[in-house]
Amino acid sequence: MTTVEQMLKAKGADIFWIEPDDPVLEAIQMMADRHVGALLVMRGPALAGIVSERDYARKVVLLGRSSADTPVWQIMSSPVTTVAPEATVHHCLELMTARRIRHLPVVAAGAVVGMLSIGDCVKAVIDEQRHHIEDLERFIRS
């Protein structure tokens, strides 16, 4: 079964983050520039929260707030659900489904070491299934 550590090795462990006092507009611009749907909110080395496009839509746009004048800490989600590198892809999908979230920071020894999206997890499951099918087809042919 695929682990979080294996997924991070395959996709890379880039971490995109913003500070709590930065304006939401900066966070949205960074998400657009990096083609991601969420950023970690870091206070120094500590994970303070996570801010997503969904947070922006629900807590800025729908409430008529200004993206330039609203700090990230006012719309971020906290506390953050995290996973360890040893967790399985199935565990990640269960957490995401149960908590209705799309992103999971990966934490090891108290430090953020990566971030997974629901797309990363779905890709890993599809890859697992493809390998199982190939193995079964080889078995049937032999």
pTM for the full predicted model: 0.88
Dmax of the chain from CA atoms? 66
Q: What is the pLDDT of residue 24?
A: 97
- For residue 31, the enclosing domain spans 4-141
Residue 1: count of CB within 10 angstroms of its CB? 10
Across the strands, what pairs with 115? Answer: 105
State the average pLDDT over residues 104-128: 95
Task: Evaluate if residue 139 carries a pLDDT over 90.
Answer: no
State the average pLDDT over residues 95-124: 96
Which tens digit of pLDDT belongs to each residue from 35-69?
A: 999 999 999 999 999 999 999 999 999 899 999 99
State the average pLDDT over residues 106-116: 96
Task: Evaluate if residue 12 carries a pLDDT over 90.
Answer: no
Number of domains forming the structure of the chain = 1
CATH number at residue 74: 3.10.580.10
Query: Lowest mean pLDDT: which of 4-8, 86-90, 102-106, 133-137?
Result: 133-137
Residue 43: count of CB within 10 angstroms of its CB? 12
